[in-house]
Every structure is written in C-alpha cells, then in structure tokens.
C-alpha cells in the first residue's frame, strides 16, 4: 500500500470518528433539552392544577376514604384479636389479607365519584350548634311588690 | 328554682308582712316563720299598751339605771338616734302628751273620723318645733352593764320608732337569703343577696290607688302620716298621733303623708316623720335619699334623692 494512501485512510477514519462524536454530542444535547422541557411542562401542569384547586389526587383519595372507612375500621377490628389460636389467627389474617386485597381492588376499581361527603366536620359543628340551646337560662321570678302605708 | 315565701299577720297595731326567697323553698318558708316569730316577740315586749311588756315595766321603773334586754337597749339607743338625726322633731319621750291627746289605748281598725274631716276641722297650719327640754338627750344605754339610763319619769314611746327598728333587726337575720322584705306596718326593709329590685307602691292617704311606685334593691322605705289614726279630741276638734313636740298638740303642717327612703327602716321612719312635721316648705330638707310628699290638697311631690341609695351601696 502506498504510504500516502495509508495516511489518507487514517485521516479519513479520524474524520469519520470526529463526525460521529459530534453527532453523538448533538444528540445528547437534544435529549437533555427535551427532557428538561418535558419536566418543566409537567410541573407546570401540576402547578396550574393545584393553583386552580383541581387536585386529582385528593379527589381520588377522598372518595376512597368515603367508601373505605369501614374497611379501615374493619382493619382495626381484625387487628385486635391477636390472642386467639395460631390457626384461627392465621386464618383470620389470611382472610383479612384477602379482604384487604378485595377492598384494595375495590378502592382501585371504583372511579372517583361525586358523592363527596364532608360529614365529619359539618356534623361536628352542627352537633355543637344543636348542643347550645340545651343550656337553660336561669331567671329568678320578680320579688313580690310591697305597699308602704302610714304606720 | 325556689319560690318566695310570704307571711302576713297582725302586729304593732297594723299588718306586718314577710317575704323571703332562699336557696330552696323549704328554707325560705322556715326563714319566714322565724322572722314572723321574731316580729311577734318584739311586739309583745315593746308594746306600751301591755302592762307586762318590757317597755311598760321600764317606763314605770323608778330607778335611773334599769337593767334591760338587748332589744330594749336597742330601742333606747334608737330614741337618741331619732332625736339627733331630726333635730329634735322626732321625740320619742312624749308619751304623756300623746296619752293626754287621747291616744291611751291601741287604735287598731278604722279611724273614728276621716282624714278629710280632720283637715277641715282644723284651719291653722304650722310646722312643728322641737321640745325645748329635748328629753330624748337624757336617754342612754350602758352596753357593758346592760342597762338603760334615763331620768325617772321620762317615758319612752315606741310608736314612732319601734317598727322601723324591729324591721331592721329582723332583716339582719335574713340578709344571707336571695331576696327579702320585712314590712312592719308600712316601715319596710328590703334586700337580699340576689340584688333584685322590688317594687314599692306608695299608698294614697285619701283612699285612692297608689300615688307613686318606686323600685328598691337594698334599703328601706317608711311612711308617716296623720290619716290612719284620727279621732275627735277633748276640745271637739280632730286629733291624731303625730304631735308637735313643742306644743304637745297634734300637728297640722299642710302635709298629710310623707314616704322616705333611707339605708335603714329606722332612719326612714325618722326622716318621714321629720319631713311631715317640717311642713311643705322644708320637707325636702329631711329627705336626702328621696321620698314622696302628699299635701293637704292631695297634691303629690316626688322628691329626688341628693344621695341615692345605690350610691351608698357603692360607697360602702
């Protein structure tokens, strides 16, 4: 092989490598830029939603609370009898786990519903308001009048 | 919630009334019965119409210094107080003059002549004056020895001061209760821990409806007048039991009735009588806590208080 040809081939190989590296660099830059933009956009959407009060996560959570409250009590009730037999306890545990799974599936399956209730606080305040009239106002009767006449 | 207990009975030549509200109805009833018993006991011991009363025995005792019960000593002390607070117009040592005027026996019941007849039978009107001897100054007490000191022959008349004094003494026993009123024939002591106001109606001396109504929370009101005990005197003219100390004769001053307010029933009685004897021109000088004056012609003057009783309560 001609030595000048060898040199030329090496020069071309280095040129191709350099081009590849440039392309890779430009690709990386694009990826980073696009990632940053997507990230910012995503947070922007979340911020707008939160600012306007439309928090989809909270809506879901409240509806699952309304439906799953009994479940929570049931969990607590099931957690209590730890002193029973091991067999019955394990059975109960399996049953509770199955129940939990079912209930969890229920929670996941059911969509957010609009029958959103805020019973706790309202009922509490209503109960307070109703309790006030129970206080009786004690009013002593007026003393009997007297008449002063010549003694 | 307890109800107010009421007792009404004959006492001191008229009608006495007790009103008490305690923390329970039963306690109020018990307190009213106790107050009634005290009033009747005081009447029995201080009546000059009873020969066995402590007062009659004191008046007949020839000694200068006479052993006396606390009640009798309180009456003797009230004689000095009445004289000093009225400038001598209310003189409780004129018993002989009253009996000479015809008031020897109790005049319970309707007067023998009406007030209008009594007023028309006497044309002259003049204010009363203190007796020049001022015998009330010679009456004193010795608490340490438990005696009443006065010159023999000086007789104490309970008619002008005993009702107010006894109303105060009985009211002192009722002070702890929610409300009370001790009405000793028109001399009334009012009070109670509840601080409630009680309506007081002023009677019409001419027989009509009440001439005035006031409200009292803690204090006393008394009424003095010439219409309740009127009779025909020895000279054929009208007589009554409120004498001019200077002349010893029934006083016709132009006023027929005065109602006075005061911190105590004894003082109220003293002010009422002094204002009546002072006449229309100076009656208001004897009513520092306010009062009501009824004149011969039926005109009613309501005297405003220079020192209202509520101010006294705050100052106390």
Question: For residue B274, is pLDDT > 90?
Answer: yes
Strand B65-67 versus strand B147-149 pairing type: antiparallel
Q: What pLDDT is stored for residue B102 in this prediction? A: 65
DSSP string, A49-104: HHHTT--HHHHHHHHHHHHHHHHHHHHHHHHS-TTS-HHHHHHHHHHHHHHHHHHH
High-pLDDT (> 90) share of chain B, %: 75
Tell me which H or E stretch contains A21.
Answer: helix A3-51
Which value, to the nearest 10 degrees, does the dihedral of the CA atoms of residues B230, B261, B93, B185 take? 50
The CA angle B77-B80-B82, to the nearest 5 degrees, is: 105
Which CATH class for the B5-315 domain? alpha beta
Q: What is the mean pLDDT of residues B131-146?
A: 94
The answer to whether B2 and B24 have CB atoms below 8 angstroms apart is: yes
User: How close A55 comes to chain B (CA, Å)?
Assistant: 58
Could B199 and A146 be called an inter-chain contact, meaning their C-beta atoms sit closer than 8 Å? yes
Cα–Cα nearest to B211, from B198, B221, B201: B201
Task: Among B1, B21, B198, select the one facing A146 at the smallest CB separation.
Answer: B198
The answer to whether B290 and B303 have CB atoms below 8 angstroms apart is: yes
Q: Which chain B residues are closer than 8 Å to A151 by Cβ?
A: 12, 14, 163, 184-187, 222-224, 228, 269
d(CA B304, CA B308): 8
Task: Among A144, A147, A151, select the one facing B4 at the smallest CB separation.
Answer: A144
Cα–Cα nearest to B220, from B183, B176, B256: B183
Q: Which residue has the tokens 């959570």?
A: A61
d(CA B25, CA B13): 30
Q: Which residue has the higher pLDDT, B130 or A54?
A: B130
Q: Which chain B residues are closer than 8 Å to A149 by Cβ?
A: 185-186, 203, 223, 225, 228
Between chain A and chain B, the number of residue pairs with CB atoms below 8 A apart is 87
Could A143 and B179 be called an inter-chain contact, meaning their C-beta atoms sit closer than 8 Å? yes
High-pLDDT (> 90) share of chain A, %: 26
Task: Among A140, A145, A150, select the one facing B200 at the smallest CB separation.
Answer: A145
Could B190 and A146 be called an inter-chain contact, meaning their C-beta atoms sit closer than 8 Å? yes
Q: What pLDDT is stored for residue B107 in this prediction? A: 54
Of chain B residues 77-116, which have a CB less than 8 A from chain A? Answer: none
DSSP string, chain B: -PPPEEEEEEETTEEEEEEEE-SSHHHHHHHHHHHHHHHHHHHHHH-TT-TTSHHHHHHT---SEEE--HHHHHHHHHHHHHHHHTTTSS-TT-HHHHHHHT--S---SS-SS-HHHHHHH----------TT-GGGG-EEETTTTEEE--TT-----TTTHHHHHHHHHHHHHTTSSEEEEEETTEEEEE-TT---EEEEEPPTTSSS-SEEEEESSEEEEEEESSSSEEE-TTSSEEES-B-TTT-SB---SEEEEEEEESSHHHHHHHHHHHHHH-TTTGGGG-TT-EEEEETTS-EEEEPPSS-HHHHHHH-
Closest chain B residue to A146 measured between Cα atoms? B200
Split at pLDDT 50, 70, 90, the class of A22 is very high
Query: Is this complex's ipTM strictly greater than 0.85?
Result: yes
HSE value, Cβ hemisphere, 13 Å, CA-based, for B128? 27
Summarised one tens digit per residue, pLDDT across range B59-71 is 999 999 999 999 9
Task: Among A143, A146, A147, select the one facing B196 at the smallest CB separation.
Answer: A143
Q: What pLDDT is stored for residue A79 in this prediction? A: 37
Cα–Cα nearest to B112, from B257, B229, B208: B229
Q: What pLDDT is stored for residue B116 in this prediction? A: 82
Domain map of chain B by residue range? 5-315
Tell me if chain A has a CB within 8 Å of the CB of B189. no
Tell me which of B11, B111, B115, B198 to substitute to probe the interface with A (most A C-beta atoms closer than 10 Å).
B198
Q: Determine the angle formed by the axes of helices B162-174 and B70-85, rounding to 10 degrees.
A: 120
Summarised one tens digit per residue, pLDDT across range A60-100 is 555 554 444 443 333 333 333 344 444 444 555 455 555 55
Q: Which residue has the higher pLDDT, B29 or B124?
A: B29
Summarised one tens digit per residue, pLDDT across range B215-267 is 999 999 999 999 877 777 767 777 788 889 998 888 999 999 999 999 999 99
Q: What pLDDT is stored for residue A136 in this prediction? A: 62
Question: For residue B36, is pLDDT > 90?
Answer: yes
Could B210 and A147 be called an inter-chain contact, meaning their C-beta atoms sit closer than 8 Å? yes
Summarised one tens digit per residue, pLDDT across range B194-211 is 999 999 999 999 988 999
Q: Which residue has the higher pLDDT, A120 or B149?
A: B149
Q: How far, in Å, are A90, B97, B255, B268 from residue B244 at the CA level?
A: 112, 10, 13, 19
Question: For residue B144, is pLDDT > 90?
Answer: yes
User: How close A143 comes to chain B (CA, Å)?
Assistant: 6
Burial class (CB in 10 A: 0-12, 13-18, 19+), A148: buried
Q: Which chain A residues are closer than 8 Å to B188 by Cβ?
A: 146, 148
Question: For residue A104, is pLDDT > 60?
Answer: no
Cβ-Cβ contacts under 8 Å for B78 (sequence gap 6 or more): B92, B161, B162, B164, B165, B266
């Amino acid at each position: 092989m001609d030595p000048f040809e060898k040199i030329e081939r090496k020069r071309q190989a280095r040129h191709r490598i350099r081009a590849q590296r440039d392309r890779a660099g430009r690709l990386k830059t694009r990826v980073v830029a696009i990632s940053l933009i997507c990230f910012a956009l995503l947070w922007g959407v979340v911020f707008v939603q939160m600012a306007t009060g439309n928090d989809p996560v909270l809506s879901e959570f409240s509806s699952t609370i309304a439906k799953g409250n009994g479940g929570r009590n049931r969990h607590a009730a099931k957690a209590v009898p730890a002193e029973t037999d091991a067999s019955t306890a394990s059975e109960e545990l399996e049953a509770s786990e199955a129940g939990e799974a079912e209930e969890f599936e229920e929670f996941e399956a059911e969509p957010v519903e609009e029958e959103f209730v805020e019973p706790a606080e309202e009922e509490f305040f209503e109960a307070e308001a109703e309790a006030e009239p129970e206080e009786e106002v004690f009013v002593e009767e007026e003393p009997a009048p007297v008449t002063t006449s010549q003694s | 919630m307890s109800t107010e207990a009421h007792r009404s009975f004959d006492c001191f030549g008229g009608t006495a009334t007790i009103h008490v509200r305690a923390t329970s109805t039963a306690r109020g009833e018990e307190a009213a019965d106790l107050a009634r018993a005290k009033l009747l006991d005081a009447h029995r011991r201080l009546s000059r119409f009873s020969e066995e009363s402590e007062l009659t025995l004191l008046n007949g005792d020839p000694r200068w210094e006479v052993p006396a019960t606390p009640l009798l000593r309180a009456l003797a002390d009230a004689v000095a107080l009445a004289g000093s607070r009225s400038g001598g117009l209310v003189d409780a040592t004129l018993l002989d003059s009253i009996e000479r005027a015809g008031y020897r026996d109790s005049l319970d019941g309707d007067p023998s002549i009406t007030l209008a007849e009594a007023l028309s039978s006497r044309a002259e009107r003049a204010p009363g004056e203190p007796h020049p001897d001022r015998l009330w100054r010679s009456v004193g007490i010795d608490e340490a020895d438990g005696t009443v000191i006065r010159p023999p022959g000086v007789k104490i008349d309970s008619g002008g001061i005993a009702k107010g004094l006894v109303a105060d003494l009985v009211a002192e026993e009722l002070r702890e209760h929610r409300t009370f009123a001790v009405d000793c024939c028109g001399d009334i002591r009012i009070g109670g821990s509840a601080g409630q106001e009680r309506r007081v109606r002023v009677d019409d001396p001419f027989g009509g409806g009440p001439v005035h109504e006031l409200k009292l929370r803690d204090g006393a009101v008394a009424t003095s007048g010439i219409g309740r005990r009127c009779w025909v005197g020895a000279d054929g003219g009208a007589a009554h039991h409120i004498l001019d100390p200077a002349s010893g004769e029934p006083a016709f001053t132009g006023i027929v009735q005065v109602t006075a307010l005061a911190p105590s029933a004894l003082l109220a009685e003293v002010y009422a009588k002094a204002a009546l004897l002072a006449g229309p021109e100076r009656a208001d000088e004897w009513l520092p806590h306010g009062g009501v004056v009824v004149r011969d012609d039926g005109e009613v003057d309501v005297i405003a208080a220079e020192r209202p009783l509520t101010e006294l309560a705050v100052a106390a």
